[in-house]
């Protein structure tokens, strides 16, 4: 007989004395000993929930994101007005926006010609005339401030397995950029160029491509080349350019000078691909966004004020908590005092099982998380404790090509107290300064507990077959 001893080690010792093989469980009360949460966990430990989760995982694991087109927000997003501003994270108001997000809003209002100065833009933003919406509620994702406005160019990513689409803006590169809250004239000038020349050329190139660009395949390859496709996109960016360059060269109306500018811009922007990685993850997860009873997380996002989460069993409902401080390595000249709280939609990558969940695949950036490849491996290994499956597509060479931990289960997070590990960039807390570092962050714990309680409340009474006490056995 082999025994697992859960509780007093005393009993394990007594069994060992009899020569029995015993393992002592490293037990501690689940959910921090909170009986309300434990009752919710029990209520959600039913075959019905298991079935719903299996369905969610099947959808997520068969997701097949493909980049099919480039278009513009005014045409692609239903109901988009010139006065609509989409932003990262859960729904936000001007009053509570963090520095970077405010700056990006000001820039976007000037870009759209709704204001001719930052002061005028600020007055307009505060006037109530502007409709602020969360990207994720409209199939969109954007890094950092994540601001998408009427004239923003958007990548169109289609989930080939299910036909749903996700959108993201084009990455502006480093330095003073709108996504970090910069709104100086040259920032807007560059954005206009991206939204026009770069977007136009990419649209032409993609429309020449038969069947679009397979993002799932690019990400899978990049994970074997040292990227985790959130904080490191070096390899995948090169792969992107390799696939796109011939089509860009052939695209109508792109002369040699423009082609050189575009190739140079994309090729030297090492985080170019992060937006596409995010849209790929968004398209994959959105297919599973509404599955009654499921406890799988389908969306996580932050806006610098709050961290928000959605779960498949309660589609469209945000659970929010305060945006956290990032444990980061800072660029020279910056310190923690300069950092904005956690911001951006890029945590959609972790939600889909890459980014921080594939940290073990990206030893080159372990400096951001404390320095050693062992620590990186440990971070990823922990994530298997809170996920329900392993990706059949994305794998980690250092783990013997084990699939990345995929499908965060609200129940497992609450039970273990292990929070998702997120790789992230850090924005300066003031608009327009830019990125000041990169590091590691966790969501606030309350959003998982809140979602669990809401799921338990929504769950039908237990449907286990009931046998009467005096029925024959």
Which one of 46, 62, 269, 416 is in contact with other proteins (CB under 8 A)?
416
Q: In angstroms, what is the minimal distance from the CB of 360 to other proteins? A: 10
Number of residues that bind other proteins (CB under 8 A): 50
DSSP code, position 287: T
CB 103 within 8 A of CB 118: no
Q: How is residue 326 annotated by DSSP?
A: P
Interaction of residue 332 with other proteins, rule CB under 8 A:
no
**Closest Cα partner for 342 from 230, 426, 436, 435?**
426
* Closer by beta carbon to other proteins, 341 or else 444: 444
The answer to whether residues 301 and 355 touch, using CB atoms and an 8 Å cutoff, is no
Helix (H) or strand (E) holding 408: strand 402-408
30 binds other proteins (CB under 8 A): yes
Binding of other proteins at residue 174 (CB under 8 A)? no
255, 256, 333, 473: which one binds other proteins (CB under 8 A): 473
**Comparing C-alpha atoms, which of 166, 234, 245 is closest to residue 202?**
245
- What is the rounded distance in angstroms from the CA atom of residue 302 to the CA atom of residue 134? 10
Q: Is 337 in the site for other proteins (CB under 8 A)?
A: no
Please tell me whether residue 398 binds other proteins under the rule CB under 8 A.
Answer: no
Q: Are the beta carbons of 188 and 147 closer than 8 angstroms?
A: no
Among 286, 345, 415, 450, binds other proteins (CB under 8 A): 415
Query: Per CB under 8 A, which region of 1-9, 101-109, 133-141, 203-211 contacts other proteins?
Result: 1-9
From the list 132-140, 161-169, 174-182, 378-386, the region that binds other proteins by CB under 8 A is: 378-386
Phi (first) and psi of residue 67, to 5 degrees: -80, 115
Task: Give yes or no for residue 401 binding other proteins (CB under 8 A).
Answer: no
Residues 307/324, Cβ–Cβ less than 8 Å: yes
**Angle, alpha carbons 146-148-153 (nearest 5°):** 120
The yes or no reply on residue 10 touching other proteins (CB under 8 A) is yes
- Residue 189 or 385: which CB sits closer to other proteins? 385
Q: Do the beta carbons of residue 459 and residue 353 sit within 8 Å?
A: no
26 or 257: whose CB is closer to other proteins? Answer: 26
> Shortest Cβ distance from residue 395 to other proteins (Å)?
16
Which residue in the set 245, 329, 418, 454 belongs to the binding site for other proteins (CB under 8 A)? Answer: 418
Query: Does 377 interact with other proteins (rule: CB under 8 A)?
Result: yes
Which residues are at the interface with other proteins (CB under 8 A)?
A: 1-18, 20, 22-30, 32-35, 38, 41-42, 45, 377-378, 381-382, 385, 412, 415-418, 467, 469-470, 473
């Amino acid at each position: 007989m082999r025994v697992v001893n859960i509780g007093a080690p005393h009993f394990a010792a007594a069994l060992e004395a009899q020569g029995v093989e015993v393992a002592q469980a490293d037990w501690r009360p689940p959910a921090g000993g909170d009986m309300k949460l434990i009752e919710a966990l029990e209520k959600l430990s039913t075959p019905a929930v298991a079935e719903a989760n299996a369905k969610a995982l099947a959808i997520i694991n068969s997701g097949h994101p493909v980049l099919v087109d480039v278009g513009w927000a005014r045409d692609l997003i239903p109901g988009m007005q010139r006065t609509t501003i989409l932003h990262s994270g859960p729904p936000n108001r001007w009053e509570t926006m963090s520095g970077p997000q405010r700056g990006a809003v000001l820039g976007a209002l000037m870009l759209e010609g709704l204001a001719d100065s930052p002061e005028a833009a600020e007055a307009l933003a505060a006037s109530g005339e502007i409709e602020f919406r969360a990207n994720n509620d409209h199939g969109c994702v954007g890094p950092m401030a994540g601001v998408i406005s009427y004239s923003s160019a958007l990548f169109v990513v289609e989930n080939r397995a299910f036909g749903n689409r996700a959108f993201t803006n084009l990455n502006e590169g480093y330095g003073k950029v709108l996504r970090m809250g910069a709104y100086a004239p040259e920032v807007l000038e560059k954005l206009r160029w991206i939204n026009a020349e770069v977007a136009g050329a990419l649209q032409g190139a993609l429309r020449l491509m038969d069947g679009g660009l397979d993002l799932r395949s690019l990400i899978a390859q990049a994970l074997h080349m040292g990227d985790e496709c959130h904080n490191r996109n070096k390899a995948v960016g090169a792969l992107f350019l390799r696939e796109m360059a011939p089509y860009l060269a052939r695209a109508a109306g792109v002369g040699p000078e423009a082609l050189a500018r575009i190739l140079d811009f994309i090729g030297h922007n090492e985080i170019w691909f992060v937006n596409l990685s995010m849209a790929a993850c968004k398209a994959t997860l959105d297919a599973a966004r509404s599955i009654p009873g499921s406890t799988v997380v389908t969306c996580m996002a932050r806006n610098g004020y709050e961290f928000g989460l959605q779960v498949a069993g309660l589609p469209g409902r945000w659970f929010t908590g305060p945006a956290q401080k990032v444990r980061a390595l800072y660029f020279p000249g910056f310190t923690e005092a300069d950092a904005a709280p956690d911001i951006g939609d890029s945590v959609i990558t972790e939600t889909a099982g890459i980014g921080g969940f594939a940290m073990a695949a990206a030893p080159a950036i372990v400096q951001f998380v404390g320095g050693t490849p062992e620590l990186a491996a440990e971070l990823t290994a922990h994530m298997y404790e809170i996920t329900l499956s392993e990706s059949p597509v994305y794998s980690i060479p250092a783990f013997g090509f084990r699939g990345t931990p995929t499908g965060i289960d609200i129940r497992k997070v609450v039970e273990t107290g292990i929070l998702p590990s997120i790789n992230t960039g850090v924005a300066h807390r003031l608009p327009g300064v830019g990125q000041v570092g990169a590091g590691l962050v966790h969501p606030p714990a309350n959003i998982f507990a809140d979602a669990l309680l809401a799921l338990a409340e929504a769950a039908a009474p237990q449907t286990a077959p009931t046998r009467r006490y005096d029925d024959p056995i």
